[in-house]
Amino acid sequence: MSAVIDSHQGQAHSDHHHGPAKGLMRWVLTTNHKDIGTLYLWFSFAMFLLGGSMAMVIRAELFQPGLQIVQPEFFNQMTTMHGLIMVFGAVMPAFVGLANWMIPLMIGAPDMALPRMNNFSFWLLPAAFTLLVSTLFSEGGGPNFGWTFYAPLSTTYAPESVTFFIFAVHLMGISSIMGAINVIATILNLRAPGMTLMKMPLFVWTWLITAFLLIAVMPVLAGCVTMMLMDVHFGTSFFSAAGGGDPVLFQHVFWFFGHPEVYIMILPAFGAVSSIIPAFARKPLFGYTSMVYATASIAFLSFIVWAHHMFTVGIPLTGELFFMYATMLIAVPTGVKVFNWASTMWQGSMTFETPMLFSVAFVILFTIGGFSGLMLAIAPADFQYHDTYFVVAHFHYVLVPGAIFGIFASAYYWLPKWTGHMYDETLAKLHFWMSFIGMNLAFFPMHFVGLAGMPRRIPDYNMMFANFNMVSSIGAFMFGATQLLFLFIVIKCIRGGQPAAAKPWDGAEGLEWTVPSPAPYHTFQTPPDVK
Amino acid sequence: MNESLSTRRLVTRLLLVVVAMFAFGFALVPIYEVMCQAFGINGKTAGAYGGTQAVDEQRQVRVQFLATNAAGMSWEFRPQADEVTVHPGASTQMLFVAHNPTGQPMTAQAIPSVAPSKAAAYFHKTECFCFTQQVLQPGERIEMPVRFIVDRDLPADVQHLTLAYTLFDITARKPPVAQVSR
Ligand code: HEM
Ligand SMILES: [Cu+2]
């Protein structure tokens, strides 16, 4: 089997055991899943810091009412770019990086199924983001229409640079689609003998489902920006009422992509946490099968709830009701998952190393985000909450302690496997607590100001929101600064530290722990035996 | 080797899904159009109505008129009366006045919308200036007719509806042909 996916298949067998090439070209030309995983993870972290600095600009401006630091035009570019970079540059590539590193190790495959395409998927991303970020330096400024780029803001009233934005989204889309195809092909075709579907670790399952979501909705996003491109340059009027189109259509197309997209950003985190909690509770995962079915139902339901983002645009009453109930239905499989994580911890012999801390925080805080989601799902109530800071609080509670904490938990859990060293547990715990406190300080008060009516995406606000906003900003600065500590911890762990055993966590399960730490450049050249 | 073949076949199928979903994104445009007209979503009205109806003398419906300029439109644009009371089934005409105060010839397109949106499907236009574009020379003023019938089947709880027009300046994007008949 290994001969098939190895790109050197024509060469002598001894070649299979060569190490990485030397120098820069190793990274440019690599087709090795571990190298590509590493590239994705570093790229994602760089984007996380870049998008994070933009958040710092936003929070600095909102530290006090009034305009202090930036002009409203630039403020809008910051919110837009922050959202785009975090979603497409930080969260999604981080999960693709984890998939590249871990899926072959977890299913006993020697590499990804399509190694060359894998290299290409990665290298599209730096191109896409160079294109996107370069718009900030263009004359009319960068995208300023929000990460949801509603027409006509993004068509009729868009800055010149919108064309760059459109092509950047095309490139990101192609990259994600190729990544997803690769994941599906790897999981379906390269599993070691005996690794049946229902024996796969949940991270592999959730990624399989995420990959199907990606190939279903990224093309719709590509279609959406293509229609924008045609409206802007070729005189069509898909989204322009003047020519017979409809701006509301834009929102339908966008959210048909957008809602599944939010699950693309959370399902892999569900999977990772489902491996980590059992390891530190020293109990097998409670309800494995129900986890698989819950993930699949969430993915299915995510296609029929998109208009909960559009309750206020004027949809018929039956539509409001349908989308309200369908949205609430998602809470059922999500609840099953939370129940299973809690039951896994119940009466376990738990220890709280950093991966576990992040995972437990994930369960608790993600649930808070789910509850605010349920509040927003109540159509009549959403008329008040929509476009306020309450929505900002909601999605940051599902994305920061959800997606981002899931990524941190995974990083700490697998760093010993990647680097061969244990990370500094004391510093890592500090990183956790600072992130935990910082993020709650930053985002919890947003619920209150949102309910009191503070609109989102504004650089200035009413005096009555001043105190909560100052707290939010302090929390955000704390969260932001702490991420430099994470960078330090990772570098320290790469350069040295206590050597890690093949299986550094005594409760951990899975094939990835059967190979030495650090994982050799080539693993599972002969497939392992899965009992 | 079998595996490699099946990987190729799998990838081909997945690529087909990708292409199909890209096409589906565009298919949402006509789907949306049909849904809007079927359910009167967004107050969208259908194209020219050909039928006639018997007049329902028993019932009266108030029809209000609104004229709004889209951002950047400089014409003067208003209905000749704010409101009329009509019998369902009867054909009624209203005139809208447009005046181009600028020094340039300009083209405009009016986009209609009916509120409440569930009434849109019961509001038939037999003739409307919104079916075509208006070209006005500098300083020119015209009166533009809309002739309509309120359907006899209009739900009983609707006693009052609004026909709103938004006027767009489409001088810059010639040829400004509406894709959808209205
Ligand atoms: C129980 C599960 C959830 C429910 C019921 C729910 C419900 C909602 C609703 C109704 C809105 C629209 C609010 C408005 O704009 O007025 C919303 C917005 C949002 N949700 Fe959720 N949600 C859930 C889970 C998630 C998850 C897991 C994520 C991401 C990981 C997420 C990310 C977002 C984002 C990013 C927005 C705002 C998009 C924007 O307007 O910029 N949600 N959610
Ligand atoms: Cu949603």
CB contact under 8 A, A220 and B22: yes
Task: Please determine, for residue A146, whether its predicted confidence score (pLDDT) is greater than 70.
Answer: yes
Task: Please determine, for residue A490, whether its predicted confidence score (pLDDT) is greater than 60.
Answer: yes
Residues of A in contact with B179 (CB under 8 A): 237, 243-245
**Domain range spanning residue B65?**
61-169
Residues of A in contact with B4 (CB under 8 A): 4
- CB of A530 within 8 Å of any CB in chain B? no
Q: Where are the domains of chain A?
A: 30-514
- Residue B120's pLDDT band, with cuts at 50, 70 and 90, is confident
Asked if residue B141 and residue B85 are part of one domain, the reply reads yes
Domain A30-514 belongs in CATH node 1.10.3720.10: no
Residue B34 is predicted with a pLDDT of 86
Task: Please determine, for residue A3, whether its predicted confidence score (pLDDT) is greater than 80.
Answer: no
Residue A309 CA: nearest ligand 1 atom is 12
Residue B176 is predicted with a pLDDT of 38
Asked if residue B90 and residue B157 are part of one domain, the reply reads yes
Asked if residue B25 and residue B75 are part of one domain, the reply reads no
Distance of residue A194 Cα from the nearest chain B Cα, in angstroms: 16
Task: Please determine, for residue A430, whether its predicted confidence score (pLDDT) is greater than 60.
Answer: yes
- What's the ipTM? 0.90
Asked if residue B34 and residue B68 are part of one domain, the reply reads no
Task: Please determine, for residue A313, whether its predicted confidence score (pLDDT) is greater than 80.
Answer: yes
Q: Per-residue pLDDT tens for B130-152?
A: 888 888 888 889 999 999 999 98
Is residue A383 classed exposed, middle or buried when 0-12, 13-18 and 19+ CB atoms within 10 A define those classes? Answer: exposed
Q: Per-residue pLDDT tens for A188-239?
A: 999 999 999 999 999 999 999 999 999 999 999 999 999 999 999 998 889 9
Residue B47 is predicted with a pLDDT of 76
Q: Could you tell which of A261, A265, A394 is best to mutate to test the pocket of ligand 1, judged by most ligand atoms within 8 Å of the CB?
A: A394
Over residues A282-301, mean pLDDT: 95
Task: Please determine, for residue B42, whether its predicted confidence score (pLDDT) is greater than 90.
Answer: no
Task: Please determine, for residue A1, whether its predicted confidence score (pLDDT) is greater than 80.
Answer: no
Mean pLDDT of chain A: 93
Asked if residue B146 and residue B66 are part of one domain, the reply reads yes
The SS3 of residue B93 is: strand
Token pair of A214, please?
């990606």
Percent of chain B with pLDDT over 70: 91
Least confident of A277-291, A456-470, B56-70: B56-70
Distance CA A412, CA A427 (A): 12
Q: Is A416 in the pocket of ligand 1 (CB under 6 A)?
A: no
Q: Is A264 in the pocket of ligand 1 (CB under 6 A)?
A: no
CA of A207 to the centre of ligand 1 (A): 20
**Which residue, judged by its Cα, is nearest atom 19 of ligand 1?**
A395
Q: Per-residue pLDDT tens for B6-35?
A: 889 999 999 999 999 999 999 999 999 888
CB contact under 8 A, B70 and A241: yes
pTM confidence score: 0.89
CB contact under 8 A, B7 and A177: no
Asked if residue B161 and residue B75 are part of one domain, the reply reads yes
Catalytic residues of A: 82, 111, 147, 175-176, 259, 261, 263, 274, 308-309, 334, 337, 456
Residue A15 is predicted with a pLDDT of 44
Residue A374 CA: nearest ligand 1 atom is 5
Whether residue B181 lies inside any domain: the answer is no
CB contact under 8 A, B176 and A242: yes
Looking up residue B87, the CATH number of its domain turns out to be 2.60.370.10
Asked if residue B102 and residue B27 are part of one domain, the reply reads no
Considering only the beta carbons, identify the residue of B3, B26, B173 that sits closest to A4.
B3
Asked if residue B10 and residue B93 are part of one domain, the reply reads no
Whether residue B177 lies inside any domain: the answer is no
Nearest 5 degrees, angle CA A96-CA A17-CA A33? Answer: 5
Percent composition of chain A: helix, strand, coil (DSSP 3-state, to 5): 70, 0, 30
Asked if residue B163 and residue B82 are part of one domain, the reply reads yes
Q: Per-residue pLDDT tens for B55-81?
A: 888 899 999 999 989 888 889 999 999
Of A396, A403, A416, A397, the C-alpha closest to A354 is A416
Whether residue B17 lies inside any domain: the answer is yes
User: Parallel, antiparallel, or unpaired for β B91-99 and B76-79?
Assistant: antiparallel
Over residues A374-387, mean pLDDT: 96
Whether residue B174 lies inside any domain: the answer is no
CB contact under 8 A, B179 and A235: no
Distance CA A258, CA A395 (A): 13
**Which residue, judged by its Cα, is nearest atom 35 of ligand 1?**
A395
Radius of gyration of chain B (CA): 22
Query: Considering its fold, how many domains does chain B have in total?
Result: 2
Considering only the beta carbons, identify the residue of A114, A189, A222 that sits closest to B3.
A189
- CB of B3 within 8 Å of any CB in chain A? yes
Over residues A377-389, mean pLDDT: 96
Asked if residue B33 and residue B107 are part of one domain, the reply reads no
Token pair of B133, please?
């574009």
Rounded (10°) CA dihedral A457, A458, A459, A462: -140
Mutate to test the interface with B, among A174, A230, A237 (most CBs of B within 10 A): A237
* Residue whose entry in the numeric block shows the structure tokens 């977890």: A106
* Residue whose entry in the numeric block shows the structure tokens 């998008």: A51
Q: Per-residue pLDDT tens for A337-347?
A: 999 999 999 99
